[in-house]
């Protein structure tokens, strides 16, 4: 698969088969992740890869904490973000709603509980970064995350990046004994896509270049 096809074909997967992913395959995906460029090649990322009973324990704790704290899905995270971006979240929910309806679950429960369970994927990956680094270094982690997701797609695996789980960072830290110096930046669900699920048909849209690019000197 060439790079452009991989980029075009990757999409968030929110329905997975229960089939286990061989460790060698996860290693290939992680090898791709760490080929990402990083500032001064400091490679600030650290990964926690969780499967089997450990993953079950993690997701049970996350779900419990989520319910106890009655976390609300707040796309703006309490900050005032321009209406343009709020509308994009609304558009995503409107677009994905028919696919989720087919699963019989309300959209809010599906997204919240689904995220907390890594959408039942057999593998949960947490990408962390040392707190000593400035926020600008999140770019490095983002680049590694995209490499990871593209490589997974190239190998026939599916992924979904997960930030909702960060509301329960303390729970993940405790369950996985994540050292205090590391901040959890992003979760990634990894597994074989359930291509029979109605959700597999969903593909999100993108802005048009004409609306977001300024060309000079052409």
Ligand X SMILES: Cc1cc2nc3c(=O)[nH]c(=O)nc-3n(C[C@H](O)[C@H](O)[C@H](O)COP(=O)(O)O)c2cc1C
Q: Does the footprint of ligand X cover residue 92 (CB under 6 A)?
A: yes
Instruction: Give 13 or 49: the residue with its C-beta nearer to ligand X.
Output: 13
Options 12, 61, 103, 197; binder of ligand X; rule CB under 6 A: 12
Q: Does the footprint of ligand X cover residue 125 (CB under 6 A)?
A: no
Instruction: Give 18 or 201: the residue with its C-beta nearer to ligand X.
Output: 201
Number of neighbours of residue 23 by Cβ within 10 angstroms: 11
Residues making up the chain, counted from first to last: 218
Residue 16: how many CA atoms within 13 Å on its side-chain side? 27
User: Shortest approach of ligand X to residue 159 CB, angstroms?
Assistant: 9
Q: What are residue 12's DSSP bridge partners? A: 159
What is d(CA 90, CA 93) in angstroms, rounded to the nearest whole number?
Answer: 5
Residues 138-197 touching ligand X, rule: CB under 6 A, are: 160-164, 186
Q: Does the footprint of ligand X cover residue 51 (CB under 6 A)?
A: no
Strand 158-162, strand 182-191: pairing: antiparallel
Q: Does the footprint of ligand X cover residue 103 (CB under 6 A)?
A: no
User: Shortest approach of ligand X to residue 217 CB, angstroms?
Assistant: 31
The answer to whether the CB of 206 falls within 8 A of the CB of 91 is no
User: How far apart are the two ends of the chain, measured CA to CA in Å?
Assistant: 32
Options 111, 141, 172, 176; binder of ligand X; rule CB under 6 A: 111
Q: At what angle do helices 23-33 and 138-154 cross, to 10 degrees?
A: 140
- Please identify, among the stretches 11-19, 60-68, 131-139, 207-215, the one whose residues bind ligand X according to the rule CB under 6 A: 11-19
Q: Does the footprint of ligand X cover residue 124 (CB under 6 A)?
A: no
Site of interaction with ligand X (CB under 6 A): 11-12, 14, 92, 111, 115, 160-164, 186, 204
């Amino acid at each position: 698969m060439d790079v452009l096809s991989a980029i075009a074909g990757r999409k968030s997967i929110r329905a997975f088969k229960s089939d286990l992913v061989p460790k060698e395959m996860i290693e290939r995906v992680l090898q791709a992740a760490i080929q990402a460029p990083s500032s001064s090649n400091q490679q600030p990322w650290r990964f926690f890869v969780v499967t089997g009973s450990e993953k079950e324990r993690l997701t049970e704790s996350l779900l419990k904490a989520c319910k106890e704290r009655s976390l609300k899905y707040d796309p703006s995270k309490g900050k005032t973000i321009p209406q343009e971006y709020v509308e994009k979240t609304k558009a995503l929910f409107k677009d994905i709603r028919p696919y989720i309806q087919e699963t019989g679950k309300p959209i809010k429960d599906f997204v919240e509980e689904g995220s907390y369970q890594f959408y039942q994927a057999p593998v949960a990956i947490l990408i962390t970064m040392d707190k000593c680094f400035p926020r600008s270094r999140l770019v490095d982690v983002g680049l590694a995350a995209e490499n990871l997701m593209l490589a997974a797609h190239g190998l026939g695996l599916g992924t979904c990046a997960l930030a909702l789980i960060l509301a329960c960072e303390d729970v993940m830290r405790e369950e996985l004994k994540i050292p205090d110096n590391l901040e959890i930046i992003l979760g990634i669900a990894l597994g074989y896509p359930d291509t029979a699920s109605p959700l597999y048909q969903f593909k999100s849209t993108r802005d048009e270049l004409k609306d977001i690019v300024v060309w000079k000197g052409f």
